[in-house]
């Protein structure tokens, strides 16, 4: 009999979910607002309901779902199913798995959101052909998923692979984790938006004002759009952003020397506009050059589905 799994990707803004089969095909998917300011029990109830709704949409009985997997930002105690600490959800010691399990009566397991996305990409996305890869997600935060010799590397008690909290600028911008100069503060969409707004304030003549409408409406695309419109201030923002991104990528490649770095998250929608200059800034700085151990820098292929797909992959065998 065919087995089905539910994958849930918990984010600060949305919870995305899907029903996935053993081959990694997504039967149905959907998303609901997280409402992150609410108590976790309310969020867990919504997540359980999302699984029920998706199962119904797929024409399945709830009992036909073998297990549920969750990807969540932050430091995860996988054994106990708790979110130990999340800088972006502002949670500490939240027993999310138990809360979802109670409402569904199904096995529930959990990992970090970027780890889940890396699993998804290596299961059925662009990571499939690499035995070693570093996945980096550039969204509200910067997350990392490291696959070495085909296995997810999470560090002691799964507390590692927090690539976003590697300092790339000593004494630099304050990060949500409390340190200064983190990769995340610069390379996240949030960091890009901050820099874009600063540039707009310094340049009232910039085309970015016309493109965004106001400072509040600035998003991760504004500077890229400005650059395409020939705006010099916007081009500088993009160049600086890619330089910071390159610093982090070089460090990660020099430590892990993966076959590939996969980039996911909202900013990656820019595709080669981001990747081509990034390669130019990364390759000359790789330890020992690129001839002996080349490293590809590519866009992740599953987009918003990577997390839910990997969360479902995590659930496989957990029934
Ligand atoms: C968190 C990570 C998470 C990443 C992406 C970071 O701020 O520390 O745990 O993976 O954001 O959501």
State the architecture of 127-301 in CATH terms.
Answer: 2-Layer Sandwich (3.30)
**Residue 27's closest CA among 37, 36, 35, 17?**
17
Tell me the CA–centroid distance for residue 142 and ligand 1, in Å.
6
4-123+305-316 and 127-301 share one fold:
yes
Give 54: exposed, middle or buried? Use CB within 10 Å, 0-12, 13-18, 19+.
Answer: buried
State the architecture of 4-123+305-316 in CATH terms.
Answer: 2-Layer Sandwich (3.30)
Atom of ligand 1 nearest to the CA of 75: 9
Pairwise CA distance, residues 260 & 253, whole Å: 9
Token pair 């892990």 in the structure block, residue: 256
Pairwise CA distance, residues 307 & 22, whole Å: 16
The mean predicted confidence, pLDDT, of the chain is: 97
Report the 10 Å Cβ neighbour count for 281: 17
Q: H/E element holding 174?
A: none
Report residue 1's pLDDT band, with 50, 70 and 90 as the boundaries. Answer: confident
Q: Where are the domains of the chain?
A: 4-123+305-316, 127-301
- pLDDT recorded at residue 97: 98
Helices 232-256 and 189-202, packing angle to 10 deg: 150
Report residue 150's pLDDT band, with 50, 70 and 90 as the boundaries. Answer: very high
Average pLDDT, integer, range 107-113: 97
Residue of 73, 115, 139, 163 to test ligand 1 pocket, by largest number of atoms within 8 Å of CB: 73
Give tens-digit pLDDT for 47-89.
999 999 999 999 999 999 999 999 999 999 999 999 999 988 9
Ligand 1 neighbourhood includes 141 CB (under 6 angstroms):
yes
Ligand 1 neighbourhood includes 145 CB (under 6 angstroms):
no
């Amino acid at each position: 009999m065919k087995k089905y799994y539910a994958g849930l990707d918990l984010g600060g803004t949305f919870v995305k979910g899907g029903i996935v089969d053993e081959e990694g095909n997504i039967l149905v998917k959907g998303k609901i607002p997280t409402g992150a300011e609410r108590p976790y029990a309310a969020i867990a109830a919504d997540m359980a309901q999302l699984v029920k709704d998706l199962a119904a949409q797929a024409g399945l009985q709830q009992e036909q779902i073998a297990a549920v997997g969750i990807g969540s930002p932050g430091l995860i105690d996988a054994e106990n199913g708790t979110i130990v600490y999340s800088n972006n959800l502002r949670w500490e010691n939240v027993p999310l798995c138990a809360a979802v399990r109670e409402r569904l009566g199904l096995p529930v397991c959990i990992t970090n959101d970027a780890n889940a996305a890396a699993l998804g990409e290596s299961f059925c996305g662009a990571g499939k052909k690499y035995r070693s890869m570093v996945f980096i997600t550039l969204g509200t935060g910067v997350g990392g998923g490291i696959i070495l010799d085909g296995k997810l590397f999470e560090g002691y008690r799964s507390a590692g692979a927090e690539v976003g909290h590697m300092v790339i600028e000593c004494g630099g911008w304050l990060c949500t984790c409390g340190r200064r100069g983190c990769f995340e503060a610069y390379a996240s969409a949030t960091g890009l938006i901050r820099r874009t707004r600063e540039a707009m304030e310094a340049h009232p003549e910039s085309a970015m004002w016309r493109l965004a409408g106001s400072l509040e409406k600035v998003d991760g695309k504004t500077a890229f759009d400005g650059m395409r419109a020939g705006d010099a201030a916007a081009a500088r923002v993009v160049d600086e952003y890619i330089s910071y991104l390159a610093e982090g990528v070089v460090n990660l490649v020099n430590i892990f020397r993966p076959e590939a770095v996969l980039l996911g998250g909202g900013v990656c929608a820019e595709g080669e506009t981001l990747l081509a200059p990034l390669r130019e800034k990364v390759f000359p700085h790789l330890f020992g050059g690129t001839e002996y151990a080349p490293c590809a820098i590519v866009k992740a292929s599953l987009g918003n589905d990577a997390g839910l797909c990997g969360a479902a992959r995590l659930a496989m065998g957990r029934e």
